[in-house]
Amino acid sequence: MAEKWTSNSSIAVVMVPLPAQGHLNQLLHLSRLVSSYNIPVHYVGTTTHIQQAKIRAHGFDPVTITNIHFHEYQTPSFETPLPNPNASNKFPNHLMPSFYATFHLREPICALVRKFLSANTKKVVVIYDNLMNCVVQDLHEMPNTECYSFNSTSAFMSYSFLWEFKGKPVLPGTEHYDDIPSILDCFPTEFWDFLKIQEQFDGKIHCGKLYNSSRVIESLYLDLMAKEYDGLKQWAIGPFNPLEPKEKSKDSNKRHESLDWLGKQEPNSVIFVSFGTTTSLCDEEVKELAIGLEKSEQKFIWVLRDADKGDVFTSEVRKVQLPEGYEERIKERGIIVRDWAPQLEILAHSSTGGFMSHCGWNSCMESMSMGVPIAAWPMHSDQPRNSQLVTKYLKIGLTVRPWTRRDELVTSEIIENVVKILMASTEGDEMRKRAADLSNTIKKSVKDDGINRAEMDSFIAHITR
């Protein structure tokens, strides 16, 4: 806790994530990167979400890094409804109560910065999720404190958002998302109401922007964003995830079964199927996906679980039903994972040759880092934009279902065809080659003389100046 922390360091960094897995994960990985410069990092949140972030960290063990300090706070209890797999919109509306509950973090985080960190260091640097503006609104006014906004989505997404609200001007690169309908259709009203609260403070409280991205991935859109915010510093310092992930435990009893199974398969022979932590498939979608995977005759790992609840530690979980006898029929060719899967390690495995994904930004960055092409099936939010970046701009994937047909059922025939193209065709091999080339470029960029290492060094030099 904050009261027990003392340091003679000249700088302290505070991370303020939104309490959703994709956001918690990104700032926890960034904490690892910043702490590698011998800078103490203070990661803050509710007790539930701090524990969630720690348990689900993959590629490294945050508990073993002594320079990362966790600060857990209680917030008033709130109703945590179950995800609705039959909702017409896949956005996780059931998480909205936990988003609003973060408003209660404003005072304890202020106290942490004012009473303990600011008093013991020359400078406090606050890196906050750009959906947490309300929580950190007071911090920029404190002595020796600087705030930096973290953009949890791609620069491509950010620029296309501005592009749409400016009337869709014809500019280089914009043709890649001409067929996406209005961004207003990607988020429900409840989210826009929450965003309006955050926007009251946007631009007033931060000294610069950070992206979990890289110039070797989307330099065009990073440059366009720099022009939009002329004079405001920005850094693309991703990928945040480890490029050579390590398992948290070498204990074979704790090693995930999927990794043992992958070790017995041929290189690039397995497609990994997972739709992240905010998407639930209805029974009919599950059935069609199951049949399509079976008919494709390709090897697969399928993470079949509902979206996260506001509190992932509550016990009520929906047991998704598969066709009768399905798991017995496919046991030689595929496995079903119903709990948390080590996605980064699975993508990094040499046997994994494809990824059917919702195209959340974490998943996109991890897949690109590991050189795995994507079968893009966007569900909500930034995912339709990300899928365009993957399939049209980078050309390292193909589309399962166009966003314009999101109300239509994806049939088993569509699934079968997509999986066969990605895993067993010349076209799929070409995508895999481009994905592998991009991965190699990304890995080179974080070496000592790489462009991303220079970007990270530039950010650290700036905050320690």
Residue 4 is predicted with a pLDDT of 42
Residue 5 is predicted with a pLDDT of 42
The top-level CATH class assigned to 257-443 is: alpha beta
> Minimal CA–CA distance to 415: which of 206, 236, 208, 275?
275
Residue 163 is predicted with a pLDDT of 84
Residue 246 is predicted with a pLDDT of 76
> Catalytic amino acids?
23, 129
Query: Residues of CATH 3.40.50.2000 domain(s) within the chain?
Result: 11-242+444-464, 257-443
For residue 268, give every residue at least 6 positions away whose Cβ sits within 8 Å of its Cβ, in sequence order, or none. Answer: 350, 351, 352, 353, 354, 432
Residue 168 is predicted with a pLDDT of 75
**Longest CA pairwise span in the chain (Å):** 65
Backbone dihedral region for residue 203 (phi beyond 0: left; psi -120 to 50: alpha; all else: beta): left
Helix 426-445 × helix 451-463 angle, to 10°: 40
**Exposure of 154 by Cβ count < 10 A (0-12 exposed, 13-18 middle, 19+ buried)?**
buried
> Minimal CA–CA distance to 403: which of 419, 387, 416, 415?
387
Task: Determine contact, residues 317/306, Cβ cutoff 8 Å.
Answer: yes
Residue 178 is predicted with a pLDDT of 61
- Residues of the chain whose pLDDT is less than 70? 1-9, 173-179, 181, 203-204, 247-254
Peptide bond into 19 cis (omega under 30): no
Residue 9 is predicted with a pLDDT of 67
Look up residue 356 and give its DSSP letter: E
Instruction: Measure CA 116 to chain center.
Output: 31
Instruction: Measure CA 321 to chain center.
Output: 27
Residue 106 is predicted with a pLDDT of 96
Measured between alpha carbons, how far is residue 400 from residues 228, 277, 403 in Å?
33, 19, 9
Neighbour-count burial for 271-289, b at 16+ CB within 10 Å, e otherwise = bbbbbbbbbbbeeebbbbb
Helix 283-296 × helix 412-423 angle, to 10°: 40
One-letter amino acid for residue 81 of the chain: P
Neighbour-count burial for 348-376, b at 16+ CB within 10 Å, e otherwise = bbebbbbbbbbbbbbbbbbbbbbbbbbbb
> CA 442 to CA 448: how far, in whole Å?
13
Residue 137 is predicted with a pLDDT of 94
Residue 344 is predicted with a pLDDT of 95
**Tokens, residue 81:** 């409804």
> Minimal CA–CA distance to 18: which of 94, 131, 121, 127?
131
> Minimal CA–CA distance to 56: which of 386, 317, 296, 344?
344
Task: Determine contact, residues 114/143, Cβ cutoff 8 Å.
Answer: no
Strand partners, 68: 41
pTM confidence score? 0.94
**Tokens, residue 442:** 């990304």
Residue 118 is predicted with a pLDDT of 84
Task: Determine contact, residues 49/19, Cβ cutoff 8 Å.
Answer: yes
24 by DSSP, 3-state: which?
Answer: helix
> CA 382 to CA 154: how far, in whole Å?
8
Look up residue 187 and give its DSSP letter: S
* Topology of the domain comprising 11-242+444-464: Rossmann fold (3.40.50)
Alpha helices by DSSP H, listed for 200-350, are: 215-228, 257-262, 283-296, 326-329, 343-348
For residue 186, give every residue at least 6 positions away whose Cβ sits within 8 Å of its Cβ, in sequence order, or none. Answer: 91, 380, 381, 382, 383, 384
State residue 374 phi and psi, 5-degree precision: -120, 135
